[in-house]
Structures are given as structure tokens and as C-alpha cells.
Chains A and B, each alone.
Chain A
Amino acid sequence: MSLQLQAGSVTFENVTKNYGAVTAIDDVSFSIEPGHLVTLLGPSGCGKTTTLRMIAGLEHASSGRILIGGKDVTSLPATDRDVSMVFQSYALFPHMTVGENVAYGLSVSGLKTSEATERAEEGLALVGLAGYASRLPSELSGGQQQRVAVARALVLEPEVLLLDEPLSNLDAKLRRKVREEIRDLQQNLGLTAVYVTHDQEEALAVSDRIIVMNRSVIAQEGTPRELYEAPASAFIADFIGDANLVTGEVINITQETAKIRIENVEYDLPSRGMGNGTTQIAVRPDSILLEPASTNQIGIKGNITHSTYLGNQIHYSVDSPLGELFVVDYRIENAIKAGSDISMTFATRGMALIAP
């Protein structure tokens, strides 16, 4: 494949977008390096799509600057930006064949028909759809349509590829496969890609970096691992991989580690620059170990209110002095009945201090 990609960077400088009284994006700044796949992650309505559409030029910033590949494109319309987008609905032109769809961008930019057709063929081959050029989009399955949309965007050799929830119209089984394909393609071609999703698992799986958004602003930015292991806020801890928030006391602090006490148990955790005093700690559901109260004397006492069997794991709701806790347990054979009194210990690898 002879794609001549010039992967570009994307930079937002204090960008704000208002729709009348609604502020969809509030003073957002970030920077995306060339060749990276960055995910915009966040709950519905937080402004992900708006951010993506501003990169595409389909919406224009109310204030602030947007740079692509180092060039200021703030007032440039979509037509003139070197950016392609894969739409949530794919937006394949229903009256054109697959080949015509993929060749569309090339032919409107003035390429000869024969050359455009040839490059479209190459693009289709790239996504594994060689030989489908003469079909209509409606004659393809959802997954194939999605790949056509990707090919159509790629043949233009964009500086940046944008994907708005590209997997949301596929069934659950297909999602894993397609997201791996997208990730492989992006890495092989060295593309800069911005990927919007509200599914944290998807984001963790495909991204070089994740920008988590909440209520029109960036909540945290980092690699998947940073976000999971060192969430900056309760929101991040809960949004990336679920978490129980419990209150504890920092009793001793050094450069690296903080000794904290939760109820009557003490733990050593990475200090992350926290000071003495009361603090919040995120505890992952699968890092809470439950044992019948009779066998474990030192743990925190509690009572199981619900127990749900899910095949390879059991979900418990536990009533405890720390509040209602959510626990995931993979030891199916040790299932504990609802109503039982238990005693809990926390595994430190699943705990993180949260800034107040």
C-alpha cells in the first residue's frame, strides 16, 4: 500500500464552544502528538463529539485556537482541512457504490477518474475489502460498511483521522475484532487518530493516551495505565474501571509512600504528593477480599446484602462501616450467601489515594 501519510499533531489552546446559552466545551487545552491514537472518553453529553467536530471543522470554536500539524486552522472550514472523519452512522453515500464512495474524496479534489478508482481499490484492499468495489453500501454487513468508511477516510492520506464512536453500531462480538483492526491499521500506517468513545474498556484497549472529559472540561489526561493506577479524582477512579471510595487517615508520610489507616487496618500506598490528614482512597472491586467473619478476625467487618452469580465471577454488595461497597470475586467455589457476616481485607495493588 502506497499511502503517503504525513501524520500531523493536533493542538487545542483554550478552546470554548457555546451553543447559545449552553457551553459544550469550556476552555479546553490539549495537545496530541503525531502518530498517536488518542481517545476522548467521557459520559454522554460531556462534549466529546463537539471536540471532534471542531477538529474536523464542522463546528467552529467560539474562542481559542486550534492547530493541526502546527498550522492555525481555527477559521478554516471542513472542506479545506486535511482531516478525515469516520462517522458514527458511517454516512456512506447510499446512491454510490462502495468503490465510488471510497473514490469520492479523491475525485472531488480533482484526481482523474482512473487514478481515483485505482487508489480506491488499494484503500479497499487495505481494509480487507478488495473486490467489493461494485457493491452498494446496503449490500454489506455493518462491519463491512464500517471498514468502507475507514477506507474512504484513509485514501485521502489525512494528517489526522477522526473516529466518532466507530463501534457503537456493531454487535458486541464484532467490537473487539474491529477495534483491534483499527488499532493495527493506525499503528502500521503511523496515523494520528482521535477516537471518541464512552466505553472505558474500549478506550483502555486501543489508546496511546486517553483524554477523559466531564461536563465540558478535561478531567484527566494520560496513558491508560496512569489513569487506572493514579486517578486524579473520584470521577476518574469510578469512570475508569469502577472503584469504591472509602475514607481513611494518613498517619505517616515519606517521599514515596504514605502510611494510611482505614478503620483499624494500615496500608502502605504511593504517596502521590498527598499531605497528612483525612483522605479518600479508591479501592477496585476485585481488590477486596471477603472471608467469612469466623475465619478472619483482623479485617473490616461487614454484611453481604446482595450476591449475584455471573458465571466466571460473583458480584457482592457489602454493608460496612465504610458504607455500601461493591465487590467482584472470581473465586466462584467460595461463594458466600447473602445475609452472611464477613470480614474484608484490601489488596494494595488495587488502591489509590485521591486528592481531596
Chain B
Amino acid sequence: MRTSFFPWLIMGWIGFAILPWYALEDGFWAFEWLIDGYPFDSDYAPALLQIFQDKEWLLPLLFPLLFPLCVFNRVKSDPKYASTLVISGGFGLAYILGQGFSVGISGWEFSTLESLFGPLETRQFGMGYGALLTSGAFLILLTTGLAAAGNLRGDVFVTSAIGIVVALVATFVFLPVGKILVSAFINDEGLYALSTFTNNFFTKKIWGIDCLSTSVSCGVGLNSFFLAILTATSTTLLGLGFALVATRTDFRWKKSLRVLTILPIITPPFVIGLALILLLGRSGTITQFVADLLNIEAGRWLYGLPGIWLAQTLSFTPIAFLVLIGVVEGVSPSMEEASQTLGASRWHTFKQVSLPLMRPGIANAFLIGFIESMADFGNPMVLGGNYDVLSTEIFFAIVGAQNDQSMAAVLAITLLMFTLSAFFAQRIWLGKKSYTTVAGKADSGIHAGMNPLLRRICMCVTIPWALFTIVIYGTVLFGGFVVNWGRNNSFTLQHYAEGFGIGWSEGNLVWEGAAWDSFWTTITISAIAAPLTAALGLLTAYLLVRQKFGGKNIFEFGTMLSFAIPGTVIGVSYILAFNVPPFELTGTAAILVLCFMFRNMPVGVRGGIAAMSQLDKSLDEASLTLGANSFTTLRKVILPLLRPAIVAALVYSFVRAITSVSAVIFLVSADHNMATSYIIGLVENGEYGIAIAYSSVLIFVMLSAILIVQKVIGERKLRRTNRLTSQSDTTKSSTNSAPMEKQA
């Protein structure tokens, strides 16, 4: 009741009148400005002083900073209180953004404004401490006002939390994607024209079908689509085979099969491709062996569609396996038993009962495989040859000599069209209802045994495939210890020494290895991103599970959308959106952190939803009726009970940040290079040894992180179940429930 808006208003004033308004060239964490001309230097001045220099357009911001004082003495239930805060916060926020987008580094951003107000002599930079703080303050004033008006039962915390999540998602998901859409329509002169888009979109480069008749390759759009269909089909079939073997047979090693599901989480996306090169490339071990044996010329077949398809199938089968295990287990054994007591044969039961029940889950696995393949950047990058796909072409459009942003935008839109269609199909197909049958718990009873022929087929396909996967990872493990794989197979530590050497110089530890720099950057940035991602994801999950509000479906959709946006698209869109004011972020570590936060947010959201739906809602309500507000309830009741889910979300965010490459490769800079993009660079230079060594180190680090955390959570769980039997099922699910989609 007594929470007042006053602290937020003060925060707004601090941002407006004290802190430097604009972003500083030296970076967010540099503080030279304090002794370098502040507060009058126009680079460092707060907004209040900027007004008197040449930025008169900041003057109207005084209104929303003064207006709330009118209702300082009023009570919360007074309608004037609410409307004043809504007007002040809303106007302030809108005005800051409006002026930020209107006046850029070269004066007016829009020609209509220029013709309206005349040319502008001055220019402005991105938002700095002051502008960000004041915007935040306006946002909270707005939400406080909305709460006082009776929204969300007057709960300021919940209203503000929704406001913050919406503002962040709008800025870091919708703004960049919107920017891509817009820039696809900008022609060389900087004008908007539909023809720019159509000219770039309906081209042979994207849709060409020459490969059907001639030896010229097809358009990249078709290439990607064709590859994605192949990969989705093969991963779904293999995944189903594995799932059937793991759940419906008495295969001795079936427990170990589940270890497979952890692999995609800890494997940087290009590693499989790399290992394939060592085995099946022109001078690969297997290639050489077969060539010698049959006395034929070693081929280059790996570099192209077959190679990428193989690598993607190896990479993504574990994901399909993970999805389909749940599906296969979810088919109620009693239904199968019922069918068999009615006299149906095993094959008939499988075909008529089990398979139809699994169909939505199989469709889901297929669509996930499709999206993963479309979004995959690492494998095509490493194995592409002359088979061009969208994700890599986007990269070359930006990075290559052409630096054609509108081409990149059009390619990105094409890619986005494919993945979003699959995403929508997935959501429509698997409306809420079918999830319960797909993921629901099996009732008691024993699954019907498999038809012997089907069983034999499954075993014959999956076991060799599992062995092949083991060989691949073995290659990754040993590849780093070999001088030159395939040519000189003698043991060496040279690659590790080159990458991770440590020396002593004058009594000081020296990180001599070439990889240390990017390694520590990766660890640091991932470690910063992980808690932020987890917090954002769990807060969103809390709002989705525990609060009722209008537009919740759209809210949920918006927060899950970034899952369907391929990393390459995110990368391009961040470059387009954040290298100009009002948000100037390119080249900073912040843009990497933000990118990870919003790319990995759906993981935290899903994990949080799964864990929170297991907590009895009456616990929250009890806390509320005992006089705690929703923030205290979240802090003292919900979060402590969600601890395993929190830890899981932390680990997954951390690990996914480490393995991410597709978005990162656009956003790294000389100061902030990341491990994955460094390794890609090594591969491009043909330095496979050190690339493989570096990859093994990453895998080792991530595996340790996961194992340590699982051990910690596992032990906690044991201790808790001993004391709190009733509690055990709420803690159990969360470790398994965090979805483990790999990213490209």
C-alpha cells in the first residue's frame, strides 16, 4: 500500500540531470569522463545541460519528470494518481524513443521530419547511462500507474515485471527482426522500394531449379529446404528407432543409449563436421583405407550435400531421440494391451494403435529437425563445398567482399519464412491438447513387445549408428593429440601447447596459448549471460504460469518466438539494429550477452514452466493471504522451491552460450572474440589439429559443468526426499524437463 512511485521519479531525475545522457565512446565501464570535462563537455553532459547546448528537443522531457509531483500527496486509489503516472510514464518513454529514432548521427533520420522542421545541424549518439536510466524510470512509472488503475489486481510488482519483459523482448527480438524486414526494402539510395525486395527475393540465387536439369547448382533457398527435409526425415526415423529400442526391447545397453541425449548440448555445432573431415575427407582415415583397399581415387564427396546431411543427421538425431522417447513412453500400455486382448497381432497393434497415437509427437520431431537443419550454420560452414545454403550465404553477404545488407536481409527473411512456418505448423498441430497425450505419463502396464521384423530393423540401423557416433566423438577426443591426422599419426601435445600453453615469466603466470584469450572471453560472457538468461526466463515463466492477464497468449508467443529465429538471422538483425543510435551496441561485450539472453530465453521459460506447474498454486495463495506481496512470495516461497530448476536453467544457458556460433560470428569483435568463431577461423585456415583440440577442451569444460551440477542437484534431491517425501515429485522433474534443443 505504501509503495510510492517517488524513488522511481528520483531515478528518472538522476538519469536526466546527473548522469551523462549519451553513450560514451570509451564504453560502458570506462569512467574517464568523470575527470574529463564532465558535466559541461557535450559528450558527457547530462540531458538537463544538453538542452542548453544544442539539443533543445530534450526539453519536453521535463514535463513527464515534473508532472507526477502533482499527485505526490494523493492516495493510490485516486483516479488522478493513476492517470497522471500513466500519462507521464507513457509520454516520457514514447518521447525518448521517438526522438532517439528520429535524430541520429547524421541529423534527421526521416526526410519528412527534415521537411517539417528544416535541416538539423547537430546530431546525437546512442543512449547512455542517463537515457537508459530515465527510460527505465518512465517504464516503471507507467506500470505503477497502470497497476494503480486496477490492472492485475493493482499488483505493482507483477505489472512492472510484465512491462519490463515486454520492453526487453520488444527491443531485443522484435526491433531487430523488424529492422531486417524494413531493410530488405531499402535500395542503394537509401529509399524504400518494394522492387528492392522483389528483385532480390525472386531470383535464381534463391529459387533457381537448374540443378534438376544441368550441373549448375540450385538456388540457396531450395538447397536449404531440400537439406532440411532430408535431415528431418533421417533424424526422425533414426530417433524413432532409438526410442523404440530404448523403451520396447530388452537390449542390454539401452540405458547407455540415453547418454546420447546429452551429446547435442555439449557439442559445438561444427565439431561433427570437423570430425567427419578427419574420417571421410579426402585424406581422412576411412577414405584412405578404402582407397588403398579398393585401389581407387579418394573422392571429395563429403564436401557438399552428402557431407552436410551426414553431419546434421549425426548432430540432430539425439534431439529427435529425446523428443520421441517421451512420445513412445507416453503411449498408454493399457491401450496396447487392450488391442492385443482383442486379438490384434503385434504388428497390427503397432500400426493401428501405437503409431497413430505417436503421430503428433513424430510430427513434432520432424519439425524440430527441420528447424535445426535450416538454422544450422556450423556444419555447412565446415563442409559446404559448393552446396550453398541460406544460413551461410547470409554470412557471406554481410562479411564477404559484397557487404550487401539488403541481400542479407532478403536471405534472412527467406530463412525466417521457412523456420516460422515450421514453428507455426508445430504450434497449430500440437495445440495444447495433444501435448498431454504426447508428454503425459504412461499408466501402469507393460508396453507391447515389438514385431520381430521391426525389432530387427531397428537394431540393425541404430546400433551401427550409435557405434558410428562413438567413433566420431573418439576422433574428436584423439584428433587433438595427433600431429597431422591421416598423414602423420604420431602422438603430440603440440596442439594443446599452442592453444593452451602456460608459461612462467619473471615469477608470473603467463597465458601463452593462442586460445586463452577467446577462451576466457567465452567463459566470462557466458557466465554473465547465464544468470541473466535464467532470471529472465524464470520471471517470464512465473508470469505465464501464475498470473492471469489479457494478451497472455501473445505474450507467451513473443517470448517463445526467438526459438524459431535462426542464429544467423539474429546475428544479422542485431548488426542492422544495434550499430546505429539510439541503441549503439555493436563491438561491445553487451551485445553478445544480450544476444545469448534472448536466444536462450525460451529454454529458461520452458524449464521454468515445467517446474512451476508442479508447485501447488495454493502455496502462493497461502503466502498472499498471510500478508506477503507477490514479490515476497516469489522470493521466499517459489524460488526456494524451484532451486533445482534454477540451477538447471543456469547450466543450460551457460553451456548454450559456449556452443553458440551462428549469431556470435556476426557479433564478435577484436576485443571480444569467442571460442567458436575462433575455431571456425582455424578450420578455414586448415589448422584442424588445434581446432579439434580446442573443441575437446570446450566439450570437457561443459561436460564437467553439467556433471558437477547434476551431482549437486542429485544429492540435494536425495537429501530432500529423505526429509520431504511429499516434496520429491516437485523437484524431480526439473532437471530433466529443461528442453535441450541444440542450436546452430
Q: Is A141 an interface residue (CB 8 A)?
A: no
* Pairwise interchain contact B625-A57, C-beta atoms closer than 8 A: yes
Q: Is B736 an interface residue (CB 8 A)?
A: no
Q: Which of B626, B723, B725 sits near A84, CB closer than 8 Å? A: B626
Q: Give the distance to chain B from A122, nearest Cβ to Cβ, in Å.
A: 17
Give the complex CA separation of A105 and B629 in angstroms: 11
* Pairwise interchain contact B724-A105, C-beta atoms closer than 8 A: no
Give the complex CA separation of A162 and B1 in angstroms: 23
Closest A residue by C-beta to B632: A108
Within 8 A of A (CB), among B716-742: 723-727, 730
Residues in B whose Cβ lies below 8 Å from that of A138? 723-727
Q: Is B616 an interface residue (CB 8 A)?
A: yes
Q: Mark A71-93, 1 if CB is under 8 A from B, else 0.
A: 00001011111011101110111
Interface residue SS majority, chain B: helix
Give the complex CA separation of A137 and B723 in angstroms: 10
Q: Mark A128-150, 1 if CB is under 8 A from B, else 0.
A: 00000000111100000000000
Q: Which of B150, B625, B730 sits near A85, CB closer than 8 Å? A: B625
Residues in B whose Cβ lies below 8 Å from that of A81? 625
Q: Mark A40-75, 1 if CB is under 8 A from B, else 0.
A: 000000000000000011101000000000000001
* Pairwise interchain contact A108-B628, C-beta atoms closer than 8 A: yes
Q: Mark B57-92, 1 if CB is under 8 A from A, else 0.
A: 000000000000000000001000000000000000
Q: Give the distance to chain B from A89, nearest Cβ to Cβ, in Å.
A: 5
Q: Which residues of A contact B (CB under 8 A)?
A: 56-58, 60, 75, 77-81, 83-85, 87-89, 91-95, 104-105, 108-109, 136-139, 152-153, 156, 162
Residues in A whose Cβ lies below 8 Å from that of B150? 75
* Pairwise interchain contact B641-A108, C-beta atoms closer than 8 A: no
Residues in A whose Cβ lies below 8 Å from that of B155? 77
Residues in A whose Cβ lies below 8 Å from that of B1? 80
Q: What are 23 A-B pairs at a CB distance below 8 A? A: A57-B624, A79-B627, A85-B621, A85-B625, A87-B618, A89-B616, A91-B616, A91-B622, A93-B619, A93-B622, A93-B623, A94-B724, A104-B626, A104-B628, A108-B626, A108-B627, A108-B632, A108-B636, A109-B627, A136-B723, A153-B626, A156-B626, A156-B627
Give the complex CA separation of A60 and B627 in angstroms: 17
* Pairwise interchain contact B622-A85, C-beta atoms closer than 8 A: yes
* Pairwise interchain contact A79-B621, C-beta atoms closer than 8 A: no
Q: Is B154 an interface residue (CB 8 A)?
A: yes
Q: Is B153 an interface residue (CB 8 A)?
A: yes
Q: Is B637 an interface residue (CB 8 A)?
A: yes
* Pairwise interchain contact B153-A105, C-beta atoms closer than 8 A: no
Residues in A whose Cβ lies below 8 Å from that of B619? 91, 93
Residues in A whose Cβ lies below 8 Å from that of B623? 93, 104, 108
Give the complex CA separation of A87 and B626 in angstroms: 12
Closest B residue by C-beta to A102: B626
Residues in B whose Cβ lies below 8 Å from that of A58? 621, 624-625
Scoring A57, A109, A138 by chain B CB atoms within 10 A of each residue's CB, the highest score goes to A138
Give the complex CA separation of A45 and B708 in angstroms: 49
Q: Give the distance to chain B from A262, nearest Cβ to Cβ, in Å.
A: 50
Q: Is B640 an interface residue (CB 8 A)?
A: yes
Closest B residue by C-beta to A80: B1
Residues in B whose Cβ lies below 8 Å from that of A152? 622, 626
If A60-B153, A91-B616, A138-B724 are given as contacts, then 15 extra A-B residue pairs at C-beta distance below 8 Å, sorted by A number, are A58-B625, A79-B627, A83-B625, A84-B626, A85-B622, A87-B618, A93-B619, A94-B726, A94-B727, A108-B623, A108-B626, A136-B724, A138-B723, A138-B727, A153-B625
Give the complex CA separation of A84 and B625 in angstroms: 6
Contact A95 to B640, CB < 8 A, known contacts A60-B153, A75-B150, A77-B155: yes
Give the complex CA separation of A137 and B727 in angstroms: 10
Q: Which of B77, B154, B616, B632 sits near A77, CB closer than 8 Å? A: B154
Within 8 A of A (CB), among B597-641: 616, 618-619, 621-630, 632, 636-637, 640-641
Q: Give the distance to chain B from A139, nearest Cβ to Cβ, in Å.
A: 7
Residues in B whose Cβ lies below 8 Å from that of A79? 624, 627-630
Q: Give the distance to chain A from B713, nearest Cβ to Cβ, in Å.
A: 15
* Pairwise interchain contact B625-A78, C-beta atoms closer than 8 A: yes
Give the complex CA separation of A94 and B77 in angstroms: 36
Closest B residue by C-beta to A83: B625
Scoring B154, B622, B629 by chain A CB atoms within 10 A of each residue's CB, the highest score goes to B622
Scoring A80, A93, A109 by chain B CB atoms within 10 A of each residue's CB, the highest score goes to A93
Q: Give the distance to chain B from A329, nearest Cβ to Cβ, in Å.
A: 44
Residues in A whose Cβ lies below 8 Å from that of B628? 79, 104-105, 108
Give the complex CA separation of A153 and B623 in angstroms: 10
Q: Give the distance to chain B from A255, nearest Cβ to Cβ, in Å.
A: 50
Give the complex CA separation of A84 and B627 in angstroms: 9
Q: Give the distance to chain A from B271, nearest Cβ to Cβ, in Å.
A: 41
Scoring B153, B155, B616 by chain A CB atoms within 10 A of each residue's CB, the highest score goes to B153
Q: Give the distance to chain B from A56, nearest Cβ to Cβ, in Å.
A: 5
Q: Give the distance to chain A from B629, nearest Cβ to Cβ, in Å.
A: 5
Q: Which of B618, B626, B636, B641 sits near A94, CB closer than 8 Å? A: B641
Which are the 10 A-B pairs with shortest beta-carbon distances?
A: A105-B626, A91-B622, A91-B618, A108-B628, A78-B624, A94-B727, A138-B724, A85-B625, A87-B618, A109-B627
Residues in B whose Cβ lies below 8 Å from that of A75? 77, 150, 154
Give the complex CA separation of A174 and B156 in angstroms: 43
Closest B residue by C-beta to A87: B618
Give the complex CA separation of A84 and B628 in angstroms: 12
Residues in B whose Cβ lies below 8 Å from that of A56? 621, 625
Give the complex CA separation of A254 and B119 in angstroms: 99
Residues in B whose Cβ lies below 8 Å from that of A77? 153-155, 624
Residues in A whose Cβ lies below 8 Å from that of B636? 104, 108
Closest B residue by C-beta to A79: B629
Q: Give the distance to chain B from A112, nearest Cβ to Cβ, in Å.
A: 16
Q: Which of A87, A93, A109 sits near B637, CB closer than 8 Å? A: A93
Residues in B whose Cβ lies below 8 Å from that of A85? 621-622, 625
Q: Give the distance to chain B from A58, nearest Cβ to Cβ, in Å.
A: 5
* Pairwise interchain contact A78-B727, C-beta atoms closer than 8 A: no
Give the complex CA separation of A94 and B626 in angstroms: 16
Closest A residue by C-beta to B643: A95
Residues in B whose Cβ lies below 8 Å from that of A78? 621, 624-625
Closest B residue by C-beta to A59: B153
Q: Mark B14-35, 1 if CB is under 8 A from A, else 0.
A: 0000000000000000000000
Closest B residue by C-beta to A145: B726
Give the complex CA separation of A80 and B153 in angstroms: 11
Q: Which of A87, A109, A139 sits near B621, CB closer than 8 Å? A: A87
Residues in B whose Cβ lies below 8 Å from that of A84? 625-626
Q: Give the distance to chain A from B188, nearest Cβ to Cβ, in Å.
A: 54
Give the complex CA separation of A85 and B626 in angstroms: 8
Q: Give the distance to chain B from A228, nearest Cβ to Cβ, in Å.
A: 33
Q: Mark B398-438, 1 if CB is under 8 A from A, else 0.
A: 00000000000000000000000000000000000000000
Residues in B whose Cβ lies below 8 Å from that of A95? 640-641, 724, 727
Give the complex CA separation of A93 and B637 in angstroms: 7
Q: Give the distance to chain B from A82, nearest Cβ to Cβ, in Å.
A: 9
Closest A residue by C-beta to B725: A138
Residues in A whose Cβ lies below 8 Å from that of B626? 84, 104-105, 108, 152-153, 156
Residues in B whose Cβ lies below 8 Å from that of A80? 1
Give the complex CA separation of A192 and B623 in angstroms: 21
Within 8 A of A (CB), among B517-549: none
Scoring B1, B624, B625 by chain A CB atoms within 10 A of each residue's CB, the highest score goes to B625
Closest B residue by C-beta to A139: B723
Q: Give the distance to chain A from B642, nearest Cβ to Cβ, in Å.
A: 10
Q: Give the distance to chain A from B352, nearest Cβ to Cβ, in Å.
A: 38
Q: Give the distance to chain A from B394, nearest Cβ to Cβ, in Å.
A: 45
Q: Give the distance to chain B from A66, nearest Cβ to Cβ, in Å.
A: 14
Give the complex CA separation of A137 and B621 in angstroms: 18
Give the complex CA separation of A153 and B628 in angstroms: 13
Q: Give the distance to chain A from B740, nearest Cβ to Cβ, in Å.
A: 27
Closest A residue by C-beta to B154: A77
Give the complex CA separation of A30 and B725 in angstroms: 42
Give the complex CA separation of A278 and B660 in angstroms: 84
Residues in A whose Cβ lies below 8 Å from that of B153? 60, 77
